[in-house]
Amino acid sequence: MPSLDGQTIILGVTGSIAAYKAADIASELTKLGAEVHCVMTKEATQIIAPLTLQVLSRNPVGVDLWDEGKGWQPGHIELADKADLLLVAPATANILACFAHGLAPDLLTAIYLATPAPVMVAPAMNGKMLAHPATQTNLETLRARGDLIIDPADGVLACGYEGPGKLAPVADIVRRVEEFLSGEKKKK
Ligand SMILES: Cc1cc2nc3c(=O)[nH]c(=O)nc-3n(C[C@H](O)[C@H](O)[C@H](O)COP(=O)(O)O)c2cc1C
């Protein structure tokens, strides 16, 4: 049986240049049996088309908080309630700040506040943005809250700098999700 069979994962995708890698993440998680629902920020749609994630995840992609569907329950609450995991990869400095401060101006941030599911974030950004005390404090806040951080890797960044800030390799992110969700399953 595929390792993620029966698991519902919300894959949050934000406006990092690494957003194109979310296509591989969505594809890998889907192939492992997960029901993947991608939720993109408006900025992420500048970098990768929602259609790409829709096809690879085999589910509609959420972008607009106000596109609520037809049910009585707000669509974002329904999705937040049924998730086993909220994975945000890549996570921008901005989304980390929104999460840390409880701001909910869009679909993904509203889901973060509404979901009872565990949260995993994989930051990706310019090294100076990552090193900034504001970003580091936001990461500490999320860690203290119990959110899981997949540390960014070292390498040559899209902005031309070399150092930490690169999205962790897709294979590592997928493995972390598998390990985490199999551990959660054993607890049940
Ligand atoms: C080409 C381009 C690449 C960007 N890459 C990153 C990135 O890797 N990480 C990051 O934190 N912000 C990056 N930004 C800035 C974010 O897109 C910007 O802060 C935006 O407001 C984030 O919105 P979101 O968090 O709602 O997706 C990039 C901007 C541009 C124009």
111 part of a folded domain:
yes
Q: Assess if residue 3 is contained within a domain.
A: no
Give the domain CATH number at 64.
3.40.50.1950
pLDDT tens track for 82-140: 999 999 999 999 999 999 999 999 999 999 999 999 999 999 999 999 999 999 999 99
Structure tokens that stand for 68 in this block:
């609520």
Q: Give residue-wise pLDDT tens across range 31-48.
A: 999 999 999 999 999 999
Domain that holds residue 132: 8-187
pLDDT for the residue numbered 119: 98
> In the prediction, which pLDDT does 71 show?
74
Q: Classify residue 108: in a domain, yes or no.
A: yes
Residue 170 lies in a domain: yes
Please work out whether the CB of residue 16 comes within 6 Å of at least one atom of ligand 1: yes
Distance in Å, CA 174 to ligand 1 centroid: 23
| 2 is a domain residue | no
Within the chain, what is the greatest distance between any pair of CA atoms? 49
Q: Record the pTM.
A: 0.96
> With a 6 A CB cut-off, is 138 part of the ligand 1 pocket?
no
> Is residue 72 pLDDT above 80, yes or no?
no
Distance between CA atoms of residues 175 and 188, nearest Å: 20
Distance CA 11, CA 57 (A): 10
Tell me, yes or no, whether 1 lies in a domain. no
- Residue 26 — very low, low, confident or very high, per pLDDT cuts 50/70/90? very high
Residue 124 located in a structural domain: yes
What's residue 177's pLDDT?
98
Give 183 Cα–ligand 1 centroid separation in angstroms: 33
49 Cα: distance to centroid of ligand 1 (angstroms): 15
- 159 as an active site residue: the answer is yes
Please give the tally of structural domains in the chain: 1
Question: What average pLDDT does the structure give for the chain?
Answer: 94
Ligand 1 atom closest to 92 (CA): 11
Residue 63 lies in a domain: yes
Condensed to tens digits (0 to 9), the pLDDT of residues 128-142 reads 999 999 999 999 999
Which ligand 1 atom is at minimum distance from the Cα of 47? 1
Query: Is 92 close to ligand 1, i.e. is its CB under 6 Å away?
Result: yes
Mutate to test the pocket of ligand 1, among 13, 14, 16, 130 (most ligand atoms within 8 A of CB): 16
